[in-house]
């Protein structure tokens, strides 16, 4: 198969676009496609400071690379979860992020869960009997938002791709989860202490981000996080891949159709966001879930002995602007 633009040998055929491209023509197409998505959803401009949540995987590193190639001011933010696994998962992930930071000459902020919360994810899971992904998701959302405020970024960008978004939509529709449906959108504007969040890869597939990483020689972690079982999500992705195979463009049509009628899904009695009485971050309860988790972990580890009010005075565990900056590198 030949590249449609220059007639060289194609390295990828994208049936949904009826487009075959060679390695030289692929990146310009991919960047242009990403730029059009950013503009369509008014995600950010070249005046904005963007914080890219990087995990060391192909999607987030490709996003960071692409935003810089497009001339945006984008720094990386890596949360070291302290997960060892078979191949020192967190350590390897961090290295891949550091390599790209050096290569593109951008700043990489690193925050360690063990320093912020008092224990790494596996230990938090043991201490709290909470599912690893539930604790991890809560901590990541909290630290990302808090850090973006402290370091004065305008917007947080994540590497979720079309396959991720469509699988989540499929799951939300199957369960008629109105609250989640109301919030599923590639741009969530800043509100009540929550930074603006965007997903510039919402229209590119996992295959396309992989090819972008390969063509641009971006080294990424191929292993999944050892906690990522995701059997249900994987089965949804398999079903959607079949549908896409028989009718290319199905995923995009499904997602775009939903965006058009999304206003029908209103979050049932969306609770008001108020500042957490301990850390000031937005929450719907008096003390936010992160502060409650922090207290629980520190109490179990014997770091906290008396009243819950003392949590705010524990220097090592409580993330402040200074401690977050102190744990920053590159």
Q: Binding of ligand Q46 at residue 133 (CB under 6 A)?
A: yes
Q: CA 145: distance to chain centroid?
A: 12
- Tell me the torsion sign for CA atoms 93, 98, 103, 109: positive
Q: Using alpha carbons only, give the angle 303, 329, 71 rounded to the nearest 5 degrees.
A: 135
Q: Binding of ligand Q46 at residue 137 (CB under 6 A)?
A: yes
Q: Binding of ligand Q46 at residue 114 (CB under 6 A)?
A: no
Q: Taking contact as CB under 6 A, which single stretch among the options 24-32, 162-170, 220-228, 248-256 is the one that binds ligand Q46?
A: 220-228
Q: Binding of ligand Q46 at residue 225 (CB under 6 A)?
A: yes
Among ligand Q46, Zn ion, none, the one that 288 touches (CB under a kind-dependent 5 to 8 A) is Zn ion
Q: Binding of ligand Q46 at residue 111 (CB under 6 A)?
A: no
Q: Taking contact as CB under 6 A, which single stretch among the options 132-140, 167-175, 211-219, 322-330 is the one that binds ligand Q46?
A: 132-140
Among Zn ion, ligand Q46, none, the one that 279 touches (CB under a kind-dependent 5 to 8 A) is Zn ion
Distance CA(101)–CA(154), nearest Å, equals 20
Q: Using alpha carbons only, give the angle 158, 38, 186 rounded to the nearest 5 degrees.
A: 50
Complex with ligand Q46: residue 19 or 133, whichever CB lies closer: 133
Q: Binding of ligand Q46 at residue 326 (CB under 6 A)?
A: no
In this chain, which of 25, 108, 124, 136 binds ligand Q46, going by CB under 6 A?
136
Q: Classify 39 in phi/psi space as left (phi over 0), alpha (psi -120 to 50) or beta.
A: alpha
Q: Binding of ligand Q46 at residue 293 (CB under 6 A)?
A: no
Structural contact between residues 301 and 119, judged by C-beta atoms closer than 8 angstroms:
yes
Least Å from the CB of residue 79 to Zn ion:
17
Count of residues engaged in binding Zn ion, rule: CB under 5 A? 5
Structural contact between residues 16 and 244, judged by C-beta atoms closer than 8 angstroms:
yes
- Within residues 228-257, the interface with ligand Q46 by CB under 6 A covers 228
- Within residues 244-303, the interface with Zn ion by CB under 5 A covers 276, 278-279, 288, 291
Q: Binding of Zn ion at residue 146 (CB under 5 A)?
A: no
Least Å from the CB of residue 296 to ligand Q46:
18
Least Å from the CB of residue 279 to Zn ion:
3
Complex with Zn ion: residue 51 or 291, whichever CB lies closer: 291
Report the Cα–Cα distance between both ends of the chain, in Å, rounded: 43
Least Å from the CB of residue 90 to ligand Q46:
9
| DSSP designation for 204 | S
Complex with ligand Q46: residue 228 or 234, whichever CB lies closer: 228
Q: Classify 95 in phi/psi space as left (phi over 0), alpha (psi -120 to 50) or beta.
A: alpha
Q: Which residues of 118-151 are buried (b: 16+ CB within 10 A; e: fewer)?
A: bbbbbbbbebbebebeebbebbbbbbbbbbbebb
Distance CA(307)–CA(121), nearest Å, equals 24
Q: Which string of x and - marks every residue 56-95 that binds ligand Q46 (by CB under 6 A)?
A: -------------------------x--------------
Complex with ligand Q46: residue 136 or 157, whichever CB lies closer: 136
Q: Taking contact as CB under 6 A, which single stretch among the options 16-24, 30-38, 129-137, 201-209 is the one that binds ligand Q46?
A: 129-137
Q: Which residues of 161-190 are buried (b: 16+ CB within 10 A; e: fewer)?
A: bbbbbbbbbbebeeeeeeebbbebbbbbee
Structural contact between residues 100 and 74, judged by C-beta atoms closer than 8 angstroms:
no
Residues making contact with ligand Q46 (CB under 6 A): 81, 121, 132-133, 136-137, 225, 227-228
Residues making contact with Zn ion (CB under 5 A): 276, 278-279, 288, 291
């Amino acid at each position: 198969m030949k590249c449609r633009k220059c007639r060289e040998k194609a390295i990828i055929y994208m049936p949904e676009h009826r487009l075959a491209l060679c390695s030289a023509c692929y990146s310009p197409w991919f960047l242009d496609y990403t730029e059009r998505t950013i503009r369509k959803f008014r995600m950010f401009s070249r005046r904005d400071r963007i914080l890219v949540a990087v995990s060391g995987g192909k999607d987030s590193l490709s996003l960071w690379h692409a935003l810089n190639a497009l001339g945006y001011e984008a720094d990386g933010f890596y949360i070291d979860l302290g997960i060892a696994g078979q191949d020192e998962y967190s350590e390897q992930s961090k290295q891949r992020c550091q390599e790209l930071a050096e290569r593109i000459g951008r700043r990489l902020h690193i925050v360690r869960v063990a320093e912020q919360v008092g224990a790494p994810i596996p230990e938090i899971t043991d201490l709290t009997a909470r599912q690893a992904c539930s604790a991890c998701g809560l901590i990541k959302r909290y630290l990302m938002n808090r850090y973006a405020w402290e370091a004065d970024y305008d917007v947080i960008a994540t590497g979720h791709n079309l396959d991720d978004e469509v699988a989540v939509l499929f799951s939300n529709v199957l369960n008629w989860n109105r609250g989640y449906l109301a919030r599923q959108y590639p741009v969530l504007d800043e509100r009540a202490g929550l930074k603006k969040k965007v997903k510039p890869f919402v229209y590119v597939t996992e295959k396309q981000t992989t090819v972008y990483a390969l063509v641009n020689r971006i080294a990424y972690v191929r292993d999944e996080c050892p906690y990522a079982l995701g059997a249900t999500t994987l089965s949804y992705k398999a079903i959607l891949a079949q549908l896409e195979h028989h009718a290319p463009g199905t995923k995009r049509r499904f997602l775009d159709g939903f965006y058009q009628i999304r206003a029908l899904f209103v979050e049932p009695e969306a609770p008001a966001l108020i500042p957490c009485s301990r850390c000031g971050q937005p929450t719907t309860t008096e003390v936010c879930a992160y502060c409650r988790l922090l207290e629980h972990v520190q109490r179990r580890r014997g770091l906290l002995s008396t009243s819950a009010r003392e949590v705010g005075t524990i220097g090592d565990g409580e993330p402040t602007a200074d401690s977050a900056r102190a744990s920053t590198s590159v």
